[in-house]
Chain A
């Protein structure tokens, strides 16, 4: 039944059912957590890794593809850096070599910001992090959900001449990165078809 097109009413019905299920799940979880308090106090952090949704609520969020824009700890401005002549790959090293691009660490930022613009409030935040020995806890902007079971490799896309802005939007207009482009499967497939590259499932899903 899940595979038929729905009208608005049936979405509401599903939302209500899932909401109730979510509440019930939370109650059950809290009950069990309370029973197992000794374990909980001894280990405040999660002791296991699992692909399970941490809460029913998060499963509901994922089901409806609800992803709020991330709030970054520092209002990093891509706009200014690019306007000053920096290139994407200068900071996002490795994007043309492998699957992922590097998010620079404090050390990297501080190579310039020890001397440049040290009086700006956001740079002061950076310096404070650096002095505490902490890395800036940047929040992930893009990235696929684990349940999409999809693997993306930047390097072949760069080599094929796909412009960064194709998937990340025009960074010369953004301060902190925002989710400018919706990375749906349709978005990927469209480009793959235009460029006559494989649209076989296992090209990306494994």
Chain B
């Protein structure tokens, strides 16, 4: 995945799209106050400087799907593991809730179900049948909408072809009003995501930790990049 910070406005359409797609529970006021709100993708906001010279920056942070993920080796039950396609998988029925992975994650993108989630009826009718509803004691996180990836693969297989670039879009990418996010296969050098990941604006978050994140951020431009400026 590539996220262009020059396009991102921090509007959080991705956050709500993720909630709707992935059956993420609303934890309520009291739990939110204890920092237990679950946002698989969140928008970080930073202020720099003091009035009146204040700069604001937004950065959406989903699970970085690290190549060398700190969350994986610490799991005693192999619930967090590396999938064949290179995602950081989270197998809910293996998870026993030690929360070691959340402690190990430098990006703070893992969320623990401290209680069984509750939907006031009939709000449960909004639940996506393609995604399981997690229960108490389970760690959960961004899956790059693995249900959409699987559906795309099944569809391509049914039509006896390969998955096309841009065919599969996680909910956040689909919703982004400024088209700041691009999703694609990094192992295919021709994909749009690979092409953007080679941009001279490309950086990776906390790269110095050696986690090899699969989310590439394109740095914000400045007006001086403009050839007319």
Contact = CB atoms under 8 A, between A and B. Distances in A.
Interface string B131-142: 111111000000
Contacts of A115: none
Contacts of B120: 47-48
B25 to A, nearest CB: 9
A203 B150 contact: yes
A17 B158 CA distance: 50
Interface residues of B, number: 34
B207 interface: no
Contacts of B87: 202
Given A47-B120, A49-B124, A206 B135 contact: no
Most-contacted residue by chain B among A49, A147, A202, A203 (CB, 10 A): A202
Q: Determine which residue in A49, A99, A151, A206 has the highest number of CB atoms from chain B within 10 A of its CB, and name it.
A: A206
Interface string A42-80: 000011111110000000000000000000000000000
Given A50-B116, A206-B147, A150 B93 contact: yes
A201 B158 contact: no
A51 B133 contact: yes
B143 A49 contact: no
B154 A155 contact: yes
Contacts, number: 84
B83 A149 contact: no
A120 interface: no
B143 A202 contact: yes
Contacts of B132: 146, 149-151, 205-206
Interface in A182-203: 198, 200-203
B107 interface: no
Given A148-B93, A202-B89, A206-B150, A49 B135 contact: no
Interface residues of A, number: 25
A159 interface: yes
Nearest to A203: B150
A52 B135 contact: yes
Contacts of A205: 89, 91-93, 132
A153 interface: yes
A156 B133 contact: no
A151 B91 CA distance: 12
A205 B146 CA distance: 10
Given A149-B132, A155-B158, A203-B150, A50 B118 contact: yes
Closest 6 CB pairs of A and B: A49-B124, A52-B116, A149-B92, A51-B135, A149-B132, A49-B119
16 contacts: A48-B118, A48-B120, A50-B116, A50-B117, A51-B117, A146-B132, A146-B135, A147-B135, A151-B131, A151-B147, A153-B154, A155-B154, A156-B157, A200-B85, A202-B146, A205-B92
Interface of A: 46-52, 99, 146-151, 153, 155-156, 159, 198, 200-203, 205-206
